[in-house]
Amino acid sequence: MQAAYNATAEIPILGTSVTEYGVALGIDNFSGTVGGNVSGTSDLAPLDQQADMIVEWMPEVKKVGLLYCSAEANSQYQVDEVQKYLEAKGVTATQYAFSDSNDLASVCQKAADENDAVYVPTDNTCAANTGIIDGICRPAKKPVFAGEEGICSGCGVATLSISYYDLGYTTGEMAAKVLTGEADISTMPVEYTNVTKKYNKTICDELGLTVPEITEPGTIVHVAMEGRYAGYLLIADVVKPHSAAAIKGLKQAGVRKTVMLTGDAEPVAKAVSAELGLDEYHAGLLPGDKVDQIETILAAKRPKENLAFVGDGINDAPVLSRADVGIAMGALGSDAAIEAADVVLMDDDPAKIALAMRIARRTLRIVYQNIVFALAIKFACLVLGALGLASMWTAIFADVGVMVLAVLNATRALYTKDLAKKNVQ
């Protein structure tokens, strides 16, 4: 990375799985965007979450040893940050640096003797010598928390796992945007991928460690391999990228109350509701239960208020037909939902609902303007005609002229770019 960075300032450079760009490129006070002709993806798991993981697993931990190779600048950065987060939690964190694999064993032994647990960052030398670390820490009954999955599989009890496939895919998407001119590499921030908690069942059992209770919302699928428990998969729906902005846009457009009706479990519904800023949610609903909830909301709404329901599944069809306005997702929605809906969003972007409301309101204002203008001019001509003051040209203007002006005013409804910009904001 450093060589490419020094070789050219013109050709775009995208890094993949670079742990820390500020350290790799010698940038002080790195803010997340390299600038110039460099950007990319990072495999650095959130260091604050790594510190949280240690305390979560060992609530009584007092001292943690931070084991790393001093020849790797990225490792130094990681242990500095983790040390800061741990000390903020009242845990004593001490750095144990070794220069190469030759003195790893002695430094690791010292770290194991003097601490309750050991933390190993994403460090190439440690990754290549997990057998040495495991051979010292496991007999000493000192758990090792790792910065990445490879180290954890060799000597650790837990880690925050990163998908390198996702990182590579994201880098490819960034390259496509740069090559097509869709994005300027000088303003593209370094991107990260989501992390998941993983643990080493064998070492956990040997050290007598109990895996913390799963608190994340979702459906848990436990996995066994050859009769031995290997871990679990947490499956949960992903909130659409623009959903939070859509809810905010609806509030700004005058929607008084937003309610989520879902068949998902209570923890999932609660988490999504909090993330989106919804006013109310109802979880664990069957299709008939959703209709009952809609009836309750319809009965409670104020005069002249309308109830809109947005759905995409076949189970939403009865509710879509019962609501005042039914809105279905066109791309992924079921045929039954689309058939029952009044409005179909062809790109499945919920933010378009607020935009549609703004366009409709502008169109209605133009219609009212034309009606009032036409009636006012014609009434004025009638009064002038009754007084004998209206000429033939006045009558022509009242008829043809008003029609032309009304049509010209109506063409304003075709311009919606300003409303679309407000919707994005």
Half-sphere exposure of 360 (CA within 13 A, CB side): 8
pLDDT for 26 equals 81
Are the C-beta atoms of 343 and 360 separated by less than 8 Å? no
Euclidean distance between CA atoms 112 and 139, whole angstroms: 10
pLDDT for 293 equals 92
pLDDT for 45 equals 77
**Nearest residue to 217 (alpha-carbon basis) of 302, 274, 154, 295:** 274
Are the C-beta atoms of 227 and 256 separated by less than 8 Å? no
Q: How far from the centroid of its chain's Cα atoms is residue 11's Cα?
A: 31
Q: How many other CB atoms are there within 10 angstroms of residue 221's CB atom?
A: 10
Q: Which residues pair with 158 in a beta bridge?
A: 145, 199
Q: Amino acid identity, residue 56?
A: E
pLDDT in tens, 395-415: 888 889 999 999 999 999 888
pLDDT for 97 equals 95
pLDDT for 333 equals 63
pLDDT for 137 equals 95
pLDDT in tens, 214-235: 666 777 777 776 665 566 777 7
Q: How many other CB atoms are there within 10 angstroms of residue 134's CB atom?
A: 18
Euclidean distance between CA atoms 214 and 220, whole angstroms: 9
Are the C-beta atoms of 61 and 91 separated by less than 8 Å? yes
Helix (H, G, I), strand (E, B) or coil at 416: coil
Phi, psi (rounded to 5 degrees) for 35: 85, 180
H or E, element range at 5:
helix 2-7
Are the C-beta atoms of 3 and 15 separated by less than 8 Å? no
pLDDT for 418 equals 80
Residue identified by tokens 């003797």 is 113
| Sequence-distant (≥ 6) Cβ neighbours of residue 254 within 8 angstroms | 357
Regions of the chain short of the pLDDT cut 70? 211-216, 225-231, 331-333, 422-425
pLDDT for 16 equals 87
pLDDT for 210 equals 76
